[in-house]
Amino acid sequence: MAQESNELMDKLTALCKRRGFIFQSSEIYGGIGGFWDYGPLGVELKRNLKEAWWQDVVRRRDDVVGLDCSIIMNPKVWEASGHVNNFNDPMVDCKSCKARFRADKVFTVIVREQSDGGTNTLIDKGVEADDPNSALSEAIATANSDTRRRVLKSQGKLDQVVFRADRIPEGQIAKCPKCAGELTEARKFNMMFKSHAGAMEDSASIVYLRPETAQGIFCNYKNVLDTTRLRMPMGIAQIGKSFRNEINPRNYTFRSREFEQMEIEFFCHPSEADKWYEYWRDARYKWYVDLGLKSSKLHLRNHEPDELAHYARACADIEYEFPFGTSELEGVANRTDYDLTQHQKFSGKDMTYFDDQTKERYIPFVIEPSGGVDRGVLAFLCEAYTEDQAPDENGKMQTRTLMRFHPRLAPVKVAVFPLVKKEGMPEVAEKIYRDCQAAGLASFYDEKGAVGRRYRRQDEAGTPFCVTVDGQTLTDQTVTVRDRDSLNQDRIPADKVLAYVQEKLK
Ligand code: GAP
């Protein structure tokens, strides 16, 4: 299973490089961990995802408006938000091989078998895993079932698992997963990238690259209220870059150091927060399903009460089954009035809302659906990757690789080909292509090579429709439109191609 998943990721990353979806950043210099570039097809896919989000959560709603904040903000923002003090990953170094790990990813699970004489046998395992729950379950599963088991230990986030499972929290032994060497104590490592604003590089000029877009929204919430007619409940949405100095960037673009977020802060009366939380959690889950992530691979995981951050009243993760494991795409949280209260405290500015109808003044609660653009793109790439059997131009069955993107997300919507490069076919094909292009459809014209090979190239790019001008076109002005997934070919009038594709894209 693990091998199959690795193979799938290998094939996908190879396709992404070969076809221009994703490249390593600064590849000619050997790359740089945690940074990625999107090629011509990738940037279209990413833009389409952001566009779909913006259309659905901003333009098609009356109660949400957009915002675009600066990446670098007054450093006090990050004191108020808690990032300066709390945005830390506990980190351990191996004293022998010098490898560095996130402490909550390298832990030793100790299963203690208690004997009558009071002596203990320790079975310890060094585990590096993305999911502490699965590593823990594995340790429990392999323990002797006759003995009273206690899974002890943990560092960082594992405590949650340990307490939830009612295990005895006790000492811990951690070893390097690479060489079994001794590890240092866990040390705090702040994940915000630092820089300096202005000519002086001293402590007074320190600034941070934002680790989330949310704080820019909180800081502007009063500006937005003052400049629009919005009343509670109302939301502010933003798409933008965020930066986190992840200790261990991994799984392709999944955990990057520079990435984009699409976040909504939805402000409401405290008494309505539970209702809006459920609304956004379910709406955001459905959004991914509607865009093509199969619900069998998509999970909505409600956090247990003891998993919640101290300021959150409820939280759910929208998770996707990636080939490398099930992980979070988007989190939806009821953040209460924590953020606005913090900013009121640190800035000294009034963050209350006055309802002129009820005459009530209050600090609104905030529901936050916070998604990652790059994780979304990766999930849609994984979901789209398909191999099937299809006949080639000689009728022989061949393995075909295709990207089954939802037409709304597909980087290229329509490709137009003349069957051969003569007899006036290129001219007719080029006119159809130009008409589609002028109408704003991402379109592609190709007259080179065998038509079967041209179809295959578009299948790999995920183009949903391929239009071919052939001999019949010259007599009856019809063309074929090939559907990427079913391989069905419709014959339609050449001057109806644009309307046909537009209809299918709706
Ligand atoms: N404002 C809340 C917030 O930032 P988060 O769970 O830390 O919450 C929200 O991040 C989303 O941002 C995640 O669900 C994920 O999709 C994306 N994200 C977070 N860290 C990321 C990283 N290192 N690389 C790629 N995407 C990341």
pLDDT tens-digit readout, 448-483: 999 999 999 999 999 999 999 999 999 999 999 999
Answer with the residue of higher pLDDT: 488 or 93: 488
CA of residue 322 relative to chain centroid, distance = 11
What number is the average pLDDT over the span 267-294? 97
pLDDT category at 250 given cuts 50, 70, 90 is confident
Ligand 1 pocket (Cβ < 6 Å) reads 212, 214, 244, 246, 255-256, 259, 261, 263, 328-331, 368, 370-372, 374-375
DSSP string for residues in 203-249: GGGEEEB-S-SHHHHHHHHHHHHHHS---SSEEEEEEEEEE---SS-
Contact 177, 127 (CB under 8 A): yes
- Tell me the C-alpha to C-alpha distance, in Å, between residue 351 and each of 49, 66, 80, 313, 347: 33, 19, 13, 20, 10
pLDDT category at 381 given cuts 50, 70, 90 is very high
What number is the average pLDDT over the span 416-443? 96
246 contact partners, CB below 8 Å, separation of at least 6 = 34, 89, 191, 255, 256, 257
Helix-then-strand count for the chain, H and E: 14, 26
- Does the structure show a pLDDT above 90 at 177? no
How far, in Å, CA of 394 to CA of 396, rounded? 5
Tokens of 488: 């069905």
Among 259, 300, 319, 326, say which to mutate for ligand 1: greatest number of ligand atoms within 8 Å of CB: 259
Task: Name the burial class of residue 116, with classes exposed (0-12), middle (13-18) and buried (19+) by CB atoms within 10 angstroms of its CB.
Answer: exposed
Which atom of ligand 1 is found nearest the CA of 246?
Answer: 23
Among 36, 86, 219, 261, say which to mutate for ligand 1: greatest number of ligand atoms within 8 Å of CB: 261
Which atom of ligand 1 is found nearest the CA of 328?
Answer: 14
Tokens of 343: 């900013």
Which alpha helices (DSSP H) does 291-424 contain, by range?
A: 338-347, 373-384
Sign of CA dihedral 243, 247, 250, 252: positive
Tokens of 225: 């209220």
pLDDT tens-digit readout, 196-248: 999 999 989 999 999 999 999 999 999 999 999 999 999 999 999 999 998 88
How far, in Å, CA of 143 to CA of 150, rounded? 10
Whole-number Å distance, alpha carbon 42 to ligand 1 midpoint, is: 20
Closest residue to atom 14 of ligand 1, CA basis: 330
pLDDT recorded at residue 174? 58
- Does the structure show a pLDDT above 80 at 176? no
pLDDT recorded at residue 404? 97
How far, in Å, CA of 275 to CA of 87, rounded? 29
The CA-CA-CA angle for residues 183, 307, 161, to 5°, reads 45
Whole-number Å distance, alpha carbon 164 to ligand 1 midpoint, is: 24
Rg (CA), the chain: 27
